[in-house]
Amino acid sequence: VTILNSMAVIGHIIDPPIFHPLVNRNGKRLRVGFTYSQRLWPWTGYLAVHLQVESELDDPVSSVRFSGIAEGYVTLTVVSSDKLGVPLQTHLNLPIRVQIIPTPNRSRRVLYDQFHSIRYPSGYIPQDDLTRKREPLDWLGDHIHTNMRDLYMHMRRANYYVEILTSPFTCFDASNYGTLLLVDTEEEFFPAEIEKLFVDVTTFGLSLLVFAEWYNTSVIEALRFFDTNTRQVWTPETGGSNLPALNNLLRPFDIEFGDTVYAGDVHIGRRVALHLFHFAPVRYTSGSSLKRFPDNNISFISGRGSVLRANLVNLGDQLIRTTVGSGHPSSVIAGSASKEDNDWRLVASDTDPVVPVLGLWTPLKSPSPCGRLAVFGDTDCLSSTHLNQNCFWLVDALLQFAISPYGRVPRPLAEQIVSASDSNSLDLITKSPVRTATSALHRLSNVIRSDRSFVQLSNGNLPAEAYRTLPLCPTVVRASYSPEENVYPNDSWYRPQPLLLHSPIRDSPTLSPDTCHSPMLSSPRMISDIRSLDTVSSLLDSFVVVYVGVMMCLLLLFRYVFPRTGVMFVRSIVHLLLTRPFAYWRHFIREREI
């Protein structure tokens, strides 16, 4: 909640906010906590409301099975001082109405990882689609409230419940969720996160869906550009996603993405739409391929791995050749490009490579305590930005594969996947991505230390001293409670409310509450002036009506009785009786307002 303080530039929230649960409206089922700015400057502050459902209640219907509306309201006080140092204060009431549903089945709960996403303006995080050279920055955040909102709405319509993870993997209970969704991760991973995720998948049955992106150090250097605002050369801190870190996370599962950047169309059989069969290619804008993928066992668990291969073009080579040929970075000035967006060769030919872009792994034993794995090399088809054709149906297919008892795959996809044990199933020619030595990702990261950069070890990991201390998991500290009866202080809360942009009136208890919507009045004299001004306004309305009537009579009189001399006379009357008095009247009103 954004707080606009109209009393002064600086304000303070003197006491912690208080939650007032409405006892007879299930308010006791809410566990409410607050995070807020004690100092409001300049003019604004925030109030974050953390909501949880109380699990331990003395109620015949437990919160796990409860379905209904819980209500209450929050009160807080903002204090400021006027120019004379006289204290001013405003009491705020914030109504809360929450719909509570029974806890969904584990298979329908999807956890969306947001903690490992970094976006501009924190740093130069490049665009996921390299063909859009005029938009170099990945500034939308890959959040389900921004460019991933359409994906979120699609999953909700499919009866999935999506929750956002804003903390490390060590802070969630895998037994509550069926699938963990990783989309375009740019952040590093704590070693404890890597260990926990492997246990969650192999022991607690958590399925993992990964949508990766491109990463190539030569392409990163080619995306340097001179920014005319900061007068500096900007270099990307990472690729479309941080594949070296993602490969570290997936190494226990024997999964690795390569550093070659591919583009083209991926034809995944025939999908069902409007009960008709037709080809539906997935646009592969700037993605990576699978260099390694498990064909059978993961650790001690027997399984089966399959991949989907596609004929794609090497987009990274095109971009690098363009940069080398020009002799300077691909974008010398922000917004310019040495190659237009539609000049790339994106249609693959028979001479282009056929590489794996999708990998599926499932345990052989069913039911099994182990979850399933699904990885895809591109993310752009999930974003709503410049989206020509989404791949939400592919997300549906992968979620179905992840949560179904036997790892069921739709027939169009099953007809084209091949075993990962085949000799030509993986992209063995591509190189393993490595971290750039000049990257300043440590300055933006919440995982690695910001005091200096660290060189990658020979095994692909960062040294142990590179990581920060694992942060504590966020908890909702219960705020002060003051239970109320089934009555609101103001029954009109749930109607459209006016925006209070003026200070409250001080020392005027006789005025109605509506006066608070008027500009600040600091003395009884000003109040009486405003009242007298309201009286003058009513007289002005009567004066205008009389004047219009007189002028209409004069116009008709001289139009039909004295047509020859009437024109000059009417002009004189209008100038004398209408124009000058209204000019004087406007001057009078302006002086009264001042």
SS3 assignment, position 249: helix
SS3 assignment, position 78: strand
- What span, in angstroms and rounded, lies between the C-alpha atoms of 138 and 119? 6
Q: Which residues contact 354 (CB under 8 A, 6 or more apart)?
A: 309, 310, 311, 312, 424
- Would you state the pLDDT for residue 396? 95
- What span, in angstroms and rounded, lies between the C-alpha atoms of 410 and 416? 11
- Would you state the pLDDT for residue 477? 86
Q: What tokens does 106 get?
A: 């584990």
Q: What tokens does 210 get?
A: 């990964």
Q: Is 161 exposed, middle or buried (0-12, 13-18, 19+ CB in 10 A)?
A: middle
- What span, in angstroms and rounded, lies between the C-alpha atoms of 556 and 531? 39
Domain ranges of the chain: 2-102+478-504, 106-436, 527-593
Q: Interior CA angle at 168 toward 165 and 171, to 5°? A: 80
Q: Which residues of the chain have pLDDT under 50?
A: 271-279, 330-337, 492, 505-534
Q: Interior CA angle at 191 toward 185 and 195, to 5°? A: 95
Q: Hey, CA dihedral for 217, 223, 225, 230, is it positive or negative?
A: negative
Q: What tokens does 500 get?
A: 């209070």
SS3 assignment, position 386: coil
- What span, in angstroms and rounded, lies between the C-alpha atoms of 59 and 380? 47
42 preceded by a cis bond (ω within 30 of 0): yes
Q: What tokens does 431 get?
A: 């190189």
Strands of the sheet with 313-314, listed across from one edge: 276-287, 262-273, 313-314
Which residue shows structure tokens 């606009």? 4
- Would you state the pLDDT for residue 527? 35
Nearest partner of 394 among 382, 407, 406, judged by Cα = 382
- Would you state the pLDDT for residue 493? 59
Q: What tokens does 383 get?
A: 């974003």
Neighbour tally for 375: CB within 10 Å: 25
Indicate the residue type of 322: T
- What span, in angstroms and rounded, lies between the C-alpha atoms of 317 and 260? 9
- What span, in angstroms and rounded, lies between the C-alpha atoms of 13 and 476? 20
- Would you state the pLDDT for residue 175? 96
- Would you state the pLDDT for residue 149? 93
- Would you state the pLDDT for residue 512? 46
Q: Are 248 and 460 in contact (CB under 8 A)?
A: yes
Note the helical H segments in 32-167: 149-157
- What span, in angstroms and rounded, lies between the C-alpha atoms of 410 and 397? 6
Q: What tokens does 80 get?
A: 């400021």
Give residue 68's region: left, alpha or beta (phi > 0; psi -120 to 50).
Answer: left
Which residue shows structure tokens 């796990």? 64
Which residue shows structure tokens 């994106």? 346
Bridging pattern class, strands 373-376 and 354-363: antiparallel
Bridging pattern class, strands 18-21 and 68-81: antiparallel
Q: What tokens does 252 get?
A: 């226990």
Which residue shows structure tokens 């709405």? 153
- Would you state the pLDDT for residue 48? 95
- What span, in angstroms and rounded, lies between the C-alpha atoms of 215 and 491? 56
